[in-house]
Amino acid sequence: MALDITDLTPPPGFERLVLAQDPEAGLRALICLHSTRLGPAAGGCRMWAYDDDRAAIHDVTRLARGMTYKNAMADLGLGGGKAVIIGDARRDKTPRMMQAFGAAVDALGGTYWTAEDVGISPADMAHAATRTGFAVGLSGASGDPSPWTAEGVFRCLRVGAAHAFGTEDLSERRVLVQGLGHVGLSLAEKLAAAGARLIVTDINEAALQDARDRLGAQVCAPEAVFDQPMDIFAPCALGGVLTQRTAAMLGARLVCGAANNQLADEDVAAALAARGVTYLPDYVVNAGGIISVASEIHGQSDAWRLDRLGAIADRVARMLHQARQTDALPAQVADRMVEEMLAAPRAA
């Protein structure tokens, strides 16, 4: 059976949702386009062993919407989209699967650009690129976007610290990094170099041992995260970790991390604020990776990437100032800024 692309009914406000299947290649994937108003949709491909299709659709739609907001806020001339491959990346992924995924992306005719996300590496994306010109984040081009994401989060975290504590100095600040993948580990290294008292958690024992040995990090069990005394919480794993229950337990005064969709629902931002916790919207602070990818899409130089990376922290500072002036949540300020961009007349 050849590759099959089936259009599903997208949620209200979304442009397109497709199911891509190639049983011989082991591919079952969803690609979601939330908005192409500001340009072609761009966003990474994640591979995850979802419990069922409903869970996969929930994840891909939330992520695609988040990419619209992220790309708009970072001024990248791109819309928002996302892809998820259903399966265990450690067990099920093959070059043939990734080639079939590339063919699925190509079938969308340039309306969606893909790159790495959880479970997908630059080498995997290179296999996809053999079947499409719309796969980026390739070695020898913009490369792994993770270091750019980590650098952007680190810069924003320092701005957030100045807001929450009166100084951006991280010496002796207790920072808990949840998740030691490519981005989380890179962020942990930057925090350790800045003198932070590092606490880390992950399900990967080797990553924990490395952080303990190299960075002097304290290790905590994943289920004990919200019992830890900390100043700053940096979620760098999967989304939805901040619920009404965990927000009530959190001891930090600042939340700034790389994970997408950190809040289980929008009301959690208000619950955090009521407890004196500053939450920096994830789609604003974690834009470094898509900035790197966008430079490849647009054929731009490192100077272009660095300019937009530097602008992330400035944008957070303005957002926090405006939130304080208007007595609004930073997340509300950020959302309003993006909604105004999406509502503005299209440029000629």
Q: Are residues 120 and 185 in the same domain?
A: no
Does 181 show up as a binding residue in the annotation?
A: yes
Contact 55, 130 (CB under 8 A): no
In a domain, 301, yes or no: no
How high is the pLDDT of residue 145? Answer: 80
Q: What is the CATH number of the domain that holds 28?
A: 3.40.50.10860
Q: Where are any strands of DSSP class E within 166-276?
A: 174-178, 197-201, 218-219, 232-235, 254-255
What residues contact residue 279 under an 8 Å CB cut-off, 6+ apart? 242, 255, 262, 263, 269, 272, 273, 329, 330, 331
> Among 32-36, 142-146, 205-209, 224-228, which stretch is predicted with the lowest mean pLDDT?
142-146
Scored b (16 or more CB within 10 A) or e, 273-305 reads: beeebbbbbbbbbbbbbbbbbbbbbeeeeeeeb
Same domain, 100 and 213: no
Catalytic residue among 70, 82, 93, 190: 82
34 is known to lie in a ligand binding site: no
Within a domain: 348: no
- The strand pair at 197-201 and 45-48 is best described as unpaired
Angle at the Cα of 191 (from 276 to 268), degrees rounded to 5? 30
Looking at the structure, do residues 67 and 120 belong to the same domain, yes or no?
Answer: yes
**346 part of a folded domain:** no
- Pair (103, 161) in one structural domain: no
Between 14-18, 75-79, 173-177, the lowest mean confidence (pLDDT) is in 75-79
In a domain, 310, yes or no: no
Residues 95 and 180 in one domain: no
Query: Which is higher by pLDDT, 341 or 213?
Result: 213
Residue 182 annotated as part of some ligand binding site:
yes
Where does the pLDDT of residue 249 fall: very low under 50, low under 70, confident under 90, or very high at 90 and above? very high
Q: Which range marks the domain in which residue 269 is found?
A: 146-287+315-338
The mean pLDDT value for 67-85 works out to: 94
- Domain assignment present for residue 62? The answer is yes
Q: Considering the domain boundaries, does residue 204 fall inside one?
A: yes
125 shares a domain with 150: no
In whole angstroms, how far apart are CA 108 and each of 40, 132, 194? 11, 10, 44
Is 43 assigned a ligand-binding role in the annotation?
no
Q: What is the mean pLDDT of residues 271-283?
A: 95
Query: Do 161 and 26 share a structural domain?
Result: no
Q: Is 153 annotated as a binding residue?
A: no
Assess whether 234 and 334 both reside in one domain: yes
User: What is the model's pLDDT at position 348?
Assistant: 43
Domain end (from 99, 129, 159)? 129
The CATH number covering residue 179 comes to: 3.40.50.720
Mean pLDDT of 331-338: 91
The last residue of a domain, from among 100, 129, 158: 129
Instruction: Report the predicted TM-score, pTM, of the whole model to 2 decimal places.
Output: 0.84
Note if 93 is an active site residue.
no
- The predicted structure's pLDDT at residue 31: 98
Same domain, 279 and 174: yes
Summary mean pLDDT of the chain:
93
Residue 30 placed within a domain: yes
Domain match, 165 and 234 both: yes
Chain position carrying tokens 């919407």: 65
pLDDT average, residue stretch 116-130: 92
304 part of a folded domain: no
125, pLDDT greater than 60:
yes
Residue 27 assigned to a binding site: no
The two tokens of residue 170 are: 């991280």
Overall domain count for the chain: 2
| Domain end position, chosen among 129, 156, 174 | 129
Percent of the chain with pLDDT over 90: 83
Please say if the pLDDT value at position 238 is more than 90: no
Confidence of residue 219 (pLDDT cuts 50, 70, 90): very high
pLDDT at 1 (0 to 100): 53
pLDDT higher than threshold 90 for residue 342:
no
Do 153 and 87 lie in a common domain?
no
167 and 118 fall within a common domain? no
Q: Confidence band (pLDDT; 50, 70, 90) for 139?
A: confident
